[in-house]
Homo-oligomer: A and B are copies of this chain.
Amino acid sequence: MVKPTSAKDNSQSVNAPTQRELPSTAPGRAEPVGARASAPLLVREIGSMHVGGRSATLDGLPGMDVTFSPGNPPFRVNPNGAFEIEQMYVQYVRLVAPRAFQPLLLMHGGGLCGVCYETTPDGRPGWQSFFLHAGHDVHVADAVERGRASWARSPEFLRGAPMFRTKAEAWELFRIGPEGSWRGNTGASQPYPDSRFPVDAFDQSMKQSIPRWTTTDAAIQAAYDTLAHDHGPFAIIAHSQGGNFAFNMALRHPGKVRAIVALEPSGFPDPVSSKLHTLAGIPHLFIWGDNTGVNETWLSMRRGLARYIAALRASGVAVDEFDLPSMGIRGNSHMLMMDRNSDEIAARVQRWFESRDLMG
């Protein structure tokens, strides 16, 4: 359970270190960790890979003539044949001298891709940049059928239809404004009075929105599992839908996950049938923004997660929770990595990594 606490009480769960207990990453310096973002990065390697997936074949579809480029004759296309499907994409930046003992993997939520961790919609350096500057080799994932992972023909390979998130849905589901506050366009819509989301950049943030299928969880999980198995261990930061994939990666490959920071995770493994004791060596941090208590969608998600968190603790897993409003930090949306205090939240995550002995 998420314990209700007063705004004065920074220790929002029994296992959460207080701010005073958290070591600074830069002893003798008053600046937050984020202040280092202007320093140059000494980079060993920038690259990417596609991970997982399989070959699959289509037949029986009719051929067609397609003009691909102006000025060229039509090209006869046979849509039948072999394809690669269900792969995921990972981009990495490796430092010459990382301080972290393991690379960091940033996992996005539903309806988004890894871009959410890059430059914020209002143009500030994002968490990819922050954690590079904090000394992590950073991997940014695009899950199966999202972003640069690419997507396969539907409904032949991807069952059902893709979902496209409206601005209204994002505005309310991401808790930028209360339910019913969307007025057809961003300018006319009232955010929460203390919203930390860069509201003037809301339309820009919606350019990051990625269609999704709801039938692909197993394929997404399989690719993440392959990533952990073949390229782990990782410390993981996972947002929203990404949380459940991260939890399951740890259950399948506990030796390949060193820590999980779950940003408002939207789902979780069955606490009864899952072997949660295998996670005993993997510290978990849960972070919650503001206004989750006035919205039935989020109340329901938090109730579910509270069950999972209780089961983790009962299984000997070290769990910390940052309920930001209880720590006096008001107005955060679901998009914690985009909010105007994104660096401050990242700095708290970084101090947690330090406290959990994940940094050299």
Contacts and interface: CB of A to CB of B under 8 A. Distances in A.
A42 interface: yes
Given A110-B68, A152-B164, A185-B55, A300 B115 contact: no
B150 A148 contact: no
Number of copies: 2
A199 interface: no
A71 B72 CA distance: 52
A203 to B, nearest CB: 6
A15 interface: no
Given A128-B46, A166-B79, A168-B82, A217 B70 contact: yes
Contacts of A119: 47-49
Given A46-B128, A297-B75, A83 B206 contact: yes
Given A70-B267, A244-B69, A150 B217 contact: no
Contact of A40 (B44, B125, B270, B304): B44
A325 interface: no
B47 A126 contact: yes
Interface stretch (A3-11, A89-97, A326-334): A89-97
A35 interface: no
Contact of A48 (B81, B87, B118, B267): B118
A102 interface: no
A43 interface: yes
A238 interface: no
A276 to B, nearest CB: 15
Contacts of A66: 163, 214
Given A43-B41, A50-B204, A211-B151, A166 B75 contact: no
Nearest to A73: B300
A68 B170 CA distance: 14
Given A71-B304, A72-B266, A84-B203, 12 more contacts: A40-B43, A47-B119, A47-B129, A50-B115, A50-B207, A66-B214, A69-B267, A79-B166, A82-B168, A82-B185, A84-B206, A91-B118
5 contacts: A71-B267, A81-B166, A114-B148, A148-B148, A150-B207
Interface in A22-73: 40-50, 53, 55, 66-73
